[in-house]
C-alpha cells in the first residue's frame, strides 16, 4: 500500500511540473493528502515495531543482557515514540505511542537499583572501554598530524623547535602503548560477552532492524534553559503541565516559561499543548525526569 502511494506521489509531482499553470491547485492538494496518508502509515508501522523492540528487551531471560540492550535502545525508542505522537492522528494510536514511553520509563526505573552492579560486568564496561579506545586513537591521530606539519616545515623554517618534534614522538609512543593495553582489555571484555551469550550481536541486530536508521538524539535539543531541571521536577510534582505555574514559581516572564514548556515537550516530559488547558504530564516520578535529563546532559 505504502509503495503504491510512493509511486503515485512521484507520478503526481511529474504532472504538477508539466501542468502547473492549469491544474496546480488540484494536483497540489492530491499530493498533500497522499503525503499525509504516507506519514500516518509510516508512524503506525513504527510504533508497532517500537512495541516489538521493547518486548524483545523486557522478555530477555538474561538480566545483564536486558540491561545492556536497555542502555543502547531505550532512549532512541522513547524519542521515536514521542516523535510518533506528534504525527499520528487517531487518539488510539497516540495512546499506544504514549504507552510505549511509559513502558520505557518503567524499564529504566526497574533497572536503576542494578546500575552499579551492572557497570562492574563486562557488559557494563563494553561502551566505556570502547570510548576510551576510540579517544586514544583520536589523540594519536591529532599528534601525528601535528608532527607531519612540523616535519614538513623543518626544511623551510630553521626556527622550528625540534624539541616539539621529540615531545610529540614521545607522546605518540606512550599513547600507542596505552592503545595496546586498552585494546587487550576491550578484546577480553568482548570475549567474556561472547562466552556468556554467543548470539548477543545477532540479538542487537534484530532490535536495530526494528528501528529506523536515523537514530534521534535528544541531545540535539536546542540550548536548554538553566531552569529546565527545576521546572521539570515542579511539573512532575504537581502533575500539571502549566506554563503559568512555571512563571509564578520562578518569577520569570511568560515567554521564557513558554520556551521551557516547549523544551519539556521536546523531551517528552509533557504532552502537546491543548488550548488553555494544562498539558498532560507524561513522567510520573522524579526518577523518570532524572533518566531523561541525565541522557540529555550527557
| pLDDT at 288 (0 to 100) | 77
Kindly list the distances between the CA atom of residue 131 and the CA atoms of 125, 137, 159, 219, 263, in Å, as whole numbers in the listed order.
Answer: 10, 10, 38, 18, 29
Helix axes 2-18, 20-58, angle to 10 degrees: 160
My answer on whether 8 and 109 are in the same domain is: yes
Share of the chain above pLDDT 70, in %: 83
The pLDDT score that the predictor gives to residue 9 is 55
- pTM of the predicted protein model: 0.68
CATH of the domain at 291: 1.10.10.10
pLDDT, tens digit, for every residue of 38-82?
Answer: 888 999 999 999 999 999 999 999 999 999 999 999 988 998 998
**Model confidence band, residue 220 (pLDDT cutoffs 50, 70, 90):** very low
Rounded Cα gap, residues 125 and 123, in angstroms:
5
Q: Are 40 and 8 in contact (CB under 8 A)?
A: no
Contact at 8 Å (CB) between 281 and 270? Answer: yes
Domain extent, residue 102, equals: 2-118
- SS3 of residue 241 by DSSP: strand
Task: Please give the tally of structural domains in the chain.
Answer: 3
On whether residue 204 sits in a domain, the answer given is no
Q: Is the pLDDT of residue 2 over 60?
A: no
**234 and 179 in one domain?**
no
Residue 30 CA to residue 12 CA, distance in Å, equals: 8
- In this structure, is residue 205 part of a structural domain? no
**Phi–psi pair at 103, nearest 5 degrees:** -65, -40
Q: Is residue 209 part of a domain?
A: no
* 124-150 per-position pLDDT tens digit: 999 999 999 999 999 999 888 888 877
Cβ neighbourhood burial of 62 (10 Å; 0-12, 13-18, 19+): middle
pLDDT given at position 49: 95
Categorize the per-residue pLDDT at 208 as very low, low, confident or very high, splitting at 50, 70 and 90.
very high
Q: What is the C-alpha separation between 239 and 17, in angstroms, rounded?
A: 51
Q: Contact, 281 vs 101, CB < 8 A?
A: no
Amino acid at each position: 500500500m505504502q509503495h503504491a502511494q510512493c509511486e503515485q506521489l512521484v507520478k503526481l509531482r511529474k504532472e504538477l511540473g508539466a501542468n502547473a499553470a492549469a491544474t496546480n491547485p488540484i494536483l497540489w492538494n492530491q499530493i498533500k493528502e497522499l503525503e499525509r496518508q504516507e506519514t500516518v502509515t509510516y508512524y503506525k508501522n513504527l510504533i508497532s515495531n517500537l512495541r516489538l523492540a521493547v518486548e524483545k528487551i523486557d522478555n530477555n531471560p538474561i538480566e545483564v543482557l536486558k540491561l545492556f540492550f536497555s542502555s543502547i535502545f531505550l532512549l532512541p525508542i522513547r524519542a521515536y515514540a514521542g516523535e510518533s505522537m506528534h504525527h499520528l492522528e487517531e487518539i488510539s494510536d497516540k495512546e499506544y505511542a504514549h504507552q510505549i514511553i511509559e513502558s520505557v520509563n518503567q524499564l529504566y526505573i526497574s533497572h536503576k537499583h542494578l546500575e552499579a552492579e551492572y557497570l562492574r560486568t563486562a557488559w557494563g564496561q563494553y561502551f566505556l572501554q570502547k570510548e576510551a579506545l576510540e579517544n586514544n586513537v583520536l589523540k594519536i591521530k591529532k599528534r601525528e598530524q601535528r608532527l607531519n606539519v612540523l616535519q614538513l616545515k623543518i626544511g623551510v623554517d630553521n626556527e622550528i623547535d625540534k624539541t616539539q618534534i621529540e615531545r610529540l614522538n614521545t607522546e605518540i609512543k606512550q599513547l600507542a602503548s596505552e592503545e595496546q593495553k586498552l585494546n587487550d582489555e576491550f578484546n577480553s571484555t568482548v570475549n567474556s560477552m561472547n562466552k556468556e551469550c554467543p548470539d548477543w550481536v545477532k540479538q542487537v541486530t534484530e532490535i536495530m532492524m526494528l528501528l529506523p536508521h536515523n537514530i534521534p538524539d535528544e541531545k540535539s535539543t536546542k540550548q536548554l534553559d538553566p531552569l529546565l531541571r527545576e521546572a521539570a521536577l515542579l511539573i512532575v510534582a504537581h502533575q500539571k503541565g502549566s506554563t503559568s505555574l512555571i512563571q509564578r514559581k520562578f518569577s520569570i516572564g511568560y515567554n521564557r516559561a513558554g520556551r521551557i514548556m516547549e523544551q519539556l515537550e521536546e523531551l517528552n516530559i509533557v504532552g502537546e499543548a491543548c488550548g488553555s488547558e494544562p498539558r498532560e504530564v507524561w513522567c510520573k516520578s522524579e526518577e523518570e525526569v532524572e533518566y531523561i535529563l541525565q541522557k540529555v546532559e550527557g
